[in-house]
Structure 1
C-alpha cells in the first residue's frame, strides 16, 4: 500500500476521465450517480486504467485469483449553490473493506462488511463550484475478524466497488431513512406506522413540520395523509413516528404483490419515498400463514455473482433475467447467504418472491476457538452487519425472515451464543418478522442444536450427496427433528445434488432423481412448511472444484453459470407448481380444463389464475388463443375453466395455467387422435 504521504501527493500518472453527467443544476436536493468511468489499479501496480463501475477485478482473467488491496479514483463536480447543503457519498456495497478520501482528506471507512450499504459525509472536504476527487481503497483479503471468516464460505469473494455509488445532496437537516410497519387486521384495514429518521448535520438545533403521504403505486393516487413535527439537536438524529390507518387496503401476496409508497417531506424541501406492502406472516403450530391463509412454500436459491462476465457486479438486466427465470420455475420462496443488491429486493417486491436474507456467517469453522462466546471482534461484526441489513431492507415486503447464520456448529457453545444474540437483536429491531438459521447439524444434535431457539427450524439436508446415506436415512432424520420440535414448522432450506467430489461426477439425471425422491418424503409430512432447492445456478466460488480462474465453480444448479437450462430445470418447474393434476377435454365445440391443486408442499390457494388455450395448426402454427378465468382453488380442491373455439381444425391444443402475472405455472397438450383406419 502506498504511504499516506504518497497518496496525498497523487501517486503516479493518472489518465484523464471524460466529464459526462457529472454536474447537476443548482438545487437543495439532488442525487448524482457516480457509476461509470473510474480509474483503477491493484495495490501492486503503478499505472492506472479506466474501468466501468459497478466493477470487480475478479472477472478479469489476470486478476481472478487476486485477493488484496486495490484503488479506485474519479472526479465529480460540486455546484457552488450547494455550499449550505449536506453532501454524502453513498456506496451500496464495496467488498469487503473501503477507506474513502475526498480531495486527499480521509472522509470515512466501512470495514469488513462487504454486502451492506454505507454513506460518507463529504461536505467538509469538498470544494464548491469546482471539480473534486474521490479515492477509495478496497481490500478483499481473507480476514479472520469478519464474517464470512477467512476462507470459510463457499461463494465468490469478488473485490471491488461492485454496486452503485451516488452523491446525495440535501439540506443540512435531512431524512436519512424511513421505517415502515404496516399491520393488517385482515378485515380491510391496516395500522401503519412510519418512523422518519431525521438527521441534523448543522451546528444549530432544528425543528419544524413534516408531512406523510401514502399512495397506491399502481394508480399513483393518495390513500392517506398525515402531518407531524420534528425537533433535532445539532449534530444528532431523531426518530419521528407518524401513525395512520388505511381503509380498503390491498394486501401484498406473492401472487398479488400490491405495493404502496410512503413519502415523507420536511418543511425545508427534502423528501424521500419508500415502497412497502401490507401483509401478515405468522406461525400457527407447524404451519406458515400469509394474510390469514395457510401456505406451504417452495422455491430455489440463487447464488449471485456467478456469471463469468459480471461476477458480483451484476447489471440490472442480468438480475432481472435470473429472477424472471426463477419466476418461471414457480419460485415463490427463496433464501440467500448474504445481503442482496437493492435491485434484487425491488424485483422480488414487485413480482412476488418471498426471501430470507442472511448475515454471511457460514460454516463450522467460523467459531473454532474454545470458550462459551465467539471472539469479540466477530460478535461485533455480526451485530453490525445485522443492524445494517435490517436498517436498509426492513421495508421490503418480500423479506419473509431474517437469517442469522448458515451451517455453523449448532451444538457448540460459542456458535449457539452467536445465533441467540443475533436472534435477540433482530427481534428488538424488527419484532414482527421471523428469525431463524439454516442448520446442517440439527439432525444429529437434535435438542442440543440452537435451531430450537429460532422461530422455526431450517435444515440443510444433502443425503445422497454431501451427507451420504439414502432417502430412507434422510426420512428417519427428518422424523427425528420433528419429534424433537413437534410444535415448530420445518423448512428444508437446502437439498439437491452437487457434483463436487471425484466420486460424484456431474450427472443431471442424478439431480433429477434426488429432487423427485426427496420431494416425495417431504410431501408425506404435513409439518414440512417449506422447501428451497439448492441450487438455481452452478456458481462461482473461491473454493470451486471445477474450472479455472474466472470459471472456478461448483456444479450444483439447474442452469449453468451462463444461465443455460439443464433438463432438471423443467422438472424443478413441475415440482414447484401448486398444480397437482390437469385434465383437458376437447370437443369441436370447445374445451374444459380441470385443475387440481396440491395438498402438499407447495400448497396454497390459487386465486386469480387463468387458463390459456392455444390452437395450433400444421407445423405448429398458432391459429387461435382463448383465455378464461379459473375460480379460486384451495389446496386439494379442483376447479375448471371452459371455453369455445372459432377455429375448427383442432389438431393440437396447448393449455397453460397462468398465474395472475401471466407466467405459466403448469401446462398440458391435447393432440387429436388419428382418424380410424388411417
Structure 2
C-alpha cells in the first residue's frame, strides 16, 4: 500500500453522478406467460402482451394461495442509448430474478443466471447501439433438482421481481460491488478502517491507476488515502488501504450512524474516470458461548423476528418503500433484529436496517421442509437424493453464498451469515452429505468474510448445530439445547396461527421468554404473514399480509416501549369509510408505493368492527393495485378484518392519483396522492392479468409417509439423556423419558401447521413386568385446546397404540399419562 499526493489529480466530486450513471429500468415493460424465445427479435409483435412494471411477479395478483404458477414468463423492454455512451462500459444489473434467466439485447444472448435470490450483472457494451435497443428476458421458475433451494415452505413465484438498472461507467472503474470495508480494530477511542477496492480495466492497454479513497461523516472528510497501481489490459486489481479514525461515531441500533467511503478512480493522465460511494458503519461485536452477544463492548440482548419478503397482492415483487415499511414495523414494536428467512433478501433490506437501526441475519437458500419428501417439487429432500445432481447443487449453493456476501458485506447491520435453514429435512441416506455441504459452506463464508460468524440456521436435529460458528435453533430447539457450550441463538420460536385482531400475547414457549446469559437472543416466527405451500403455515405473523399488526405486535410494543395498545374496535354504529395513506407523494420508478388503510367508522371517527366488502378504485390518474385499477377487500377473504383493511398502491406514471373507497350502506371516502417522475399519465393502456393461467398444486407422496419425522416435540419434563426430540428421530434405540414417573406427564408433537393425516402410531418403552399405564391421545389445532381421540387401538406385541385422526386435520398430537408415566420410543403420524 502507498499513500501519496499527485498534483495532477482533479478534485474528487462530492457526488458519484459525474462519472458513473445508474439508471433504473423498472418502467415500461411488457410481459407474457409461456416460453416465446422468438420474442427476442425486434420484429416480434408484443401488442397483446400485458403491461408490466418492475418489480413484477408471475403470481400477481397473489393472496397467500398454497398454489402458484410454475413455468416460463417472458419480458420485453425498449431502452435508449445515447451517442456519448458508446465506447463506455454498459451493464445490466438485476437485483433478483426467480429463478433462471436468459438475457438478450437486440436479439443476441448477453448472459444467463441461475439462482432466484441474488443479484447479478451482465456486460452489454458490445451489443448496444445508439438510439433504441431491445431488451428481452426469458425467465422460468421450474423446480430444478440441481439448484438451491430444492425445498422450503414459502412459495416460489417466478419473475423479475427485484429492480433492474442500466449502469454506465468508464472502461476504468470500480468493479460491481467492488468495495469491502471492515473495521478490524475498533473502540470508542479509535478505529482502523480497512478498505479493499477492486478496480477493473476494460481497455486493451495497461493503465496506471490512482485510487483516492476518502472517508466522510456528515459532509466532513475525515480520512484520505491515495494509492497508484498498474492494471493490465482487461485486468483487475484489488487496492488495500488502511487508515485510523479518531473518536469514531459508532453504529448501534439506538444510534445508527453511517460513514461514506468515496472511491475516486483516476487514470495516468490524472483524469477522473469513476466515482463510487459505499456506506458503512463502525462497530464491533461478538457471539460468546457463555456470555451471549456483545455490541461495541457491551452485552446486548437480541429480540427479533423472522421475515419473508412477500406482500399482499404483489407477492415477492415488493418496492423499496415496502421493504422500508417492513423494517420500520419490526423496529416500532421494540425489536432489534430481522432474520432474513430463508434466502438472501434485496440488499435494500439491509440498507434500511443500517439506516433505521436493526441487526440483520442474512441467510442462504439451502433449505428444507418437513413432511413427505416428494422429488420434483419444493417439498423434496433439501440435499439431492440422486448422485448426478449433487455437484451442480453444491455449486449453486456456493455461488449463491458468494453473491449474497459480495452484495451485502458492507452493511453494518449484518452480524451473521447463515448457510442454511433446517437442512436436516433431507433423506436419511444423504444426511452425511448434507452435513458435509454445510461444513463446506461454513468454511467458504469464513474465507469470503472473516469479520462475521458463519451460522447454521435451523440446526436442532442431526448434529448440524456443531458445524458452524453459531447455532440457530428453531421450534423445540430452545428447550433441547440449554447452554450447549458454543454460541447459540433461538432462530425461531412462537409459530402461532391467527388472523387480526389476534391474541394479545408474545407466543413464548419452553421458557424462551427469559434470556439466560449464554443465549445470544431469539427471533419470533414470524414477523409477517406470507405465502406458503404448507397449508396455514403462512398465517403465523405478528403482522398480517396486508401489513396491519395483530395483537402480538401490540404486546411487544407495550412490553418493550411502554406504548399501550389501541382500544378495540366498536361493535356497532358504522356509518362511513375512512381512507388514509402513509404518504401523499410516490415516485414512479418502481421503488415506491403508498400503503392505503381503509376502515369503517362511526360518526365520531371511531373504528367499528363491521363485516364488509370494500372496493378501492383509482378514479383518476395512473395508480394501480395488484389487481389493476380497483381491488375488493372483504371479511370473507380475510382482507378486511376487525373493521380495517389495507393494500399497497403504486404508479408508473406521474400526476395526480385519486382513490375512492366504497361499500354498500356506508359513506364513501376519497384520497388524493401525487405521483412524480418522467412520463405523465395521459390515459395510457393498463393491461394486467387477472392472475396466472394455471397454478401448480403441491404433489402428494405416492405412498403413506411419516410426516412427524424431525418435527418439534414439546413435553412436561424430560430426563437429561432422553429428550423429547427422540420420539421423531426414527432411531430404534432412542426414546423420551419424563423426569419422573408421576401422573400428568405429557408429550406433544407439533406438525408446524394444520396437516391432513389418517393415522397416528405411538410406541412405548415398556417391559412386560411394568404393564400398560393408562394413556390419553388428543389432538389440537392451536396447542391450547385439545380434543380427545377415541378408538385408540392397543397392540401388546409391539407395545404400541394407534388411532385414526380427524378428517379436518390436526397440528398437535399429545400423549398424556393421567396416572403414571412411561417412556415413549417413537411417534409417527401418517399422511
User: TM-score, normalization: structure 2?
Assistant: 0.59
Partner of 2:547: 563
Q: Confirm or deny that 1:332 pairs with 2:336.
A: yes
1:514 shift after superposition: 3.6
CA gap of 1:93–1:175, structure 2 versus 1, over 3 A, is: same
Partner of 2:232: 233
Q: Secondary structure at the match of 1:72?
A: strand
Matches within 5 A, 1:462-541: 462=476, 475=479, 477-479=480-482, 482=483, 485-486=484-485, 488-499=486-497, 512=505, 514-515=507-508, 517-518=509-510, 520-523=511-514, 525-541=516-532
CA gap of 1:512–1:28, structure 2 versus 1, over 3 A, is: closer
Aligned with 1:436 (options 438, 455, 465): 455
Partner of 2:698: none
Partner of 2:173: 174
CA gap of 1:250–1:124, structure 2 versus 1, over 3 A, is: same
Partner of 1:414: 433
Matches within 5 A, 1:44-123: 47-60=48-61, 65-111=68-114, 113-123=115-125
1:27 shift after superposition: 7.4
CA gap of 1:303–1:27, structure 2 versus 1, over 3 A, is: closer
2: distance between equivalents of 1:226 and 1:61?
51
CA gap of 1:478–1:514, structure 2 versus 1, over 3 A, is: farther
Partner of 1:301: 306
Q: Secondary structure at the match of 1:53?
A: coil
1:29 shift after superposition: 2.9
Q: Confirm or deny that 1:125 pairs with 2:123.
A: no
The answer to whether the 8 A contact 1:496-1:511 is kept is no
Q: Confirm or deny that 1:366 pairs with 2:367.
A: no
The answer to whether the 8 A contact 2:146-2:389 is kept is no
1: distance between equivalents of 2:560 and 2:276?
38
1: distance between equivalents of 2:265 and 2:506?
59
Partner of 2:759: none
2: distance between equivalents of 1:283 and 1:33?
39
2: distance between equivalents of 1:230 and 1:105?
36
Partner of 1:468: none
The two structures, once aligned, show a CA RMSD in angstroms of: 2.7
Whose helix fraction is larger, Structure 1's or Structure 2's? 1
1: distance between equivalents of 2:23 and 2:111?
19
1:439 shift after superposition: 2.5
1:170 shift after superposition: 0.8
2: distance between equivalents of 1:532 and 1:69?
36
1:521 shift after superposition: 4.5
The answer to whether the 8 A contact 1:93-1:161 is kept is yes
Partner of 1:21: none
Q: Secondary structure at the match of 1:107?
A: strand
Partner of 1:143: 144
The answer to whether the 8 A contact 2:471-2:487 is kept is yes
After superposition, give the CA deviation of every residue in 1:90-125 in whole Å (9 maximum; x if it has no partner): 1111111111111111111111x1111111111101
2: distance between equivalents of 1:207 and 1:156?
50
The answer to whether the 8 A contact 2:360-2:414 is kept is yes
User: Which ranges of structure 1 fall in alignment gaps of 5 or more residues?
Assistant: 1-25, 464-473, 500-504, 547-552, 580-618, 621-678
Moved more, 553-562 or 410-419: 410-419
Aligned with 1:320 (options 315, 324, 328): 324
1:512 shift after superposition: 2.8
1:560 shift after superposition: 1.4
User: Which ranges of structure 2 fall in alignment gaps of 5 or more residues?
Assistant: 1-16, 37-45, 267-271, 370-380, 564-603, 606-831
1:28 shift after superposition: 5.3
1:405 shift after superposition: 0.3
CA gap of 1:441–1:378, structure 2 versus 1, over 3 A, is: same
Q: Secondary structure at the match of 1:59?
A: coil
After superposition, give the CA deviation of every residue in 1:219-259 in whole Å (9 maximum; x if it has no partner): 21111111111322222221111111111211111111111
2: distance between equivalents of 1:507 and 1:31?
42
Q: Secondary structure at the match of 2:307?
A: coil
The answer to whether the 8 A contact 1:28-1:85 is kept is no
Partner of 1:278: 282
The answer to whether the 8 A contact 2:199-2:238 is kept is yes
Q: Secondary structure at the match of 2:149?
A: coil
After superposition, give the CA deviation of every residue in 1:575-601 in whole Å (9 maximum; x if it has no partner): 55699xxxxxxxxxxxxxxxxxxxxxx
The answer to whether the 8 A contact 1:522-1:528 is kept is no
2: distance between equivalents of 1:158 and 1:166?
22
2: distance between equivalents of 1:407 and 1:261?
37
Quick check: which has more Rg, 1 or 2?
2
1:574 shift after superposition: 4.0
Partner of 1:387: 402
Moved more, 138-147 or 376-385: 138-147
1: distance between equivalents of 2:182 and 2:524?
31
Aligned with 2:346 (options 341, 353, 364): 341
2: distance between equivalents of 1:295 and 1:185?
17
Aligned with 2:473 (options 455, 459, 476): 459
CA gap of 1:253–1:282, structure 2 versus 1, over 3 A, is: same
After superposition, give the CA deviation of every residue in 1:511-554 in whole Å (9 maximum; x if it has no partner): 83742x54x4451633222010011111112x1414xxxxxx72
1: distance between equivalents of 2:85 and 2:260?
28
CA gap of 1:522–1:68, structure 2 versus 1, over 3 A, is: same
Matches within 5 A, 1:609-628: none
After superposition, give the CA deviation of every residue in 1:564-619 in whole Å (9 maximum; x if it has no partner): 2221222233455699xxxxxxxxxxxxxxxxxxxxxxxxxxxxxxxxxxxxxxx9
1: distance between equivalents of 2:363 and 2:309?
14
Partner of 1:405: 420
2: distance between equivalents of 1:220 and 1:163?
31
1:284 shift after superposition: 3.5
Moved more, 387-396 or 505-514: 505-514
Q: Secondary structure at the match of 2:159?
A: coil
Q: Confirm or deny that 1:134 pairs with 2:135.
A: yes
Aligned with 1:289 (options 291, 294, 300): 294
Aligned with 1:35 (options 26, 31, 35): 26
**Number of aligned residues:** 513
Q: Secondary structure at the match of 2:491?
A: strand
Q: Secondary structure at the match of 1:417?
A: helix
Moved more, 219-228 or 313-322: 313-322
1:459 shift after superposition: 0.3
